[in-house]
Amino acid sequence: MLNAEIVNKDEEIIKLVNDIFKKSVEENASEIYIEPKEKYVRVQYRKDGVLFIPEGYDKIPRQLRNYIVDRIKILTTTMRLEVRLRPQDGKIRLKINGEEVDFRIGIIPTIHGESIAIRPLHNDSYSLDINKIFNDDKSLIDRFKRNLDLKDGVILFSGLSSSGKTSLALAAVNELAKKNVKIITIEDPVQVEIHNATQVNVNLQQDLTFASAARQAYRYAIDVLYMGEIRDYEIAHITLEGGLTGHLALSTMPTQNAIETLFRLSQMGIKEYLTASTVKFIVSSKLTDKICQHCKEEVIYSETELKAIGLTAKEITENTLYKSKGCEKCNQRGYSGRIAIIEMLELSSSMKDAFINGADNKEITKIAKKDGVYYTLADDAIKKLKGGFIDLETARLFTL
């Protein structure tokens, strides 16, 4: 690792920064954090939802802080070197191990200097592969694709930060792009380039906002509009209005589950009748640890434990359940990789009527289950438990 003596050696700073980006790809990290402390700088990576600091990255000399920050700003070509007291956003594209990788960069000033958050945006087919996202679950894939055949209305993708909702939404856009339809996406920023889609990058400095871009897009006689995220009333209203006027509109919302998404729109000021008239399908997701498939072994749980999460007596006797003991391939964690727990909600007529008439979350959920239009996170967690992809401890997070 570097020491303070090489502060003035540009090539060493370039190498260090390149190594930081390269390691993120090799580790398949989802985030990189370059954090200034009082006496040093540290680099953290997030992989499979867990933060870790690679050897040699825990105490980089503080004297290198601004050199590292400036090198990253230069790579973005849009960030200003002299600005150190305001947040900045940018994007970098690098070729690493033969692969073109985009990195989303965010800088925020802290009490010890500028802190950098970096998100690798792997511009590859995996991130858009519905089969892999849905873990090759044919019933879920068929249900998902069937709802993408809608000619108008609104499809929403919900989940909190790092839940996989954007990957799901972009996978849907990519699937639609295979058809002979005109698609415009409006994103902040564009995350993955999609063939056959016209993609717009929001630029607030040039007054290119979600709202202004969407209004212009609707004048193009498009078939599909994807709005990167519904953040406020204006964006929500424009998105739903598009679904009401003959377009298929897709967007994401940061909510816990599918039904909560309906009520969040109301909280934003959207009238219930507009939501009920336009929203036709909601997909929610949460990423969780997948048990290591190399060291998993059969485990016997008590009948009481299994019934508590909703398994029937027949399911208990007919299914073999697993837990991983830890091995070299999973660094003794027992978990390797992440898997999406999926929820799907198709709005039935009785659901819409109840929602317009002021039914609460509990009532709407009851009606959705009765009508058979609600495949819940709990349903999917139990399916993945029985499939040997998660263990009981993980399943409990979604069922209790």
pLDDT at 225 over 70: yes
Q: Which domains does the chain have, with CATH numbers?
A: 4-122 (3.30.450.90), 125-399 (3.40.50.300)
pLDDT on residue 127:
67
Integer CA distances (angstroms), 34 to 11, 31, 85, 276, in order:
19, 10, 17, 45
The mean pLDDT value for 109-115 works out to: 96
pLDDT for 269? 97
Contact (Cβ atoms closer than 8 angstroms) between residue 261 and residue 271? no
Task: Please give the torsion angle defined by the CA atoms of residues 382, 385, 391 and 395, in that order, rounded to the nearest 10 degrees.
Answer: -10
- Phi/psi-derived region of residue 128, left when phi > 0, alpha when psi is between -120 and 50, beta in every other case: alpha
**pLDDT for the residue 369:** 96
- Over 50: is that where the pLDDT of 125 sits? no
Confidence class of residue 331 from pLDDT cuts 50, 70 and 90?
confident
Across the range 255-275, mean pLDDT stands at 97
Q: Quick one: 172 exposed, middle or buried, by C-beta within 10 A (0-12, 13-18, 19+)?
A: buried
Q: Comparing 73-87, 152-166, 203-217, which segment has the lowest mean pLDDT?
A: 203-217
- What pLDDT shows up at residue 136? 94
Q: Provide the 10 A C-beta neighbour count for residue 223.
A: 17
Q: What's the mean pLDDT in 151-170? A: 93
Between 59 and 400, the more confident residue is 59
Confidence band, pLDDT 50/70/90 cuts, at residue 6: very low
Please list the alpha-helical segments (H only) found in the chain.
Answer: 10-26, 65-76, 130-133, 138-147, 165-177, 210-218, 233-244, 258-267, 272-278, 303-308, 313-318, 349-356, 361-371, 377-386, 392-399
21-35: average pLDDT: 93
Looking up tokens 């609600």, which residue turns up?
374
> What is d(CA 337, CA 135) in angstroms, rounded to the nearest whole number?
12
Q: What is the pLDDT of residues 65-95, one digit of tens each?
A: 999 999 999 999 989 999 999 999 888 999 9
Angle at 188 between CA 187 and CA 192, to 5 degrees: 60
Q: What is the pLDDT of residue 126?
A: 44
Query: Taking all residues of the chain, what is their mean pLDDT, rounded to a whole number?
Result: 92
Confidence label for 7 from pLDDT (cuts 50, 70 and 90)? very low
| pLDDT of 273 over the 80 cut | yes
Query: Is the pLDDT assigned to residue 397 strictly greater than 60?
Result: yes
pLDDT at 8 over 70: no
> Residue 97 has what pLDDT?
87
More confident residue, 400 or 47: 47
Which amino acid, 256? Q
Confidence class for position 123, pLDDT limits 50, 70, 90: low
Task: Please give the share of the chain, as a percent, with pLDDT higher than 90.
Answer: 80
Q: Which pLDDT does position 122 carry in this prediction?
A: 62
Q: Give the mean pLDDT of 112-141.
A: 85
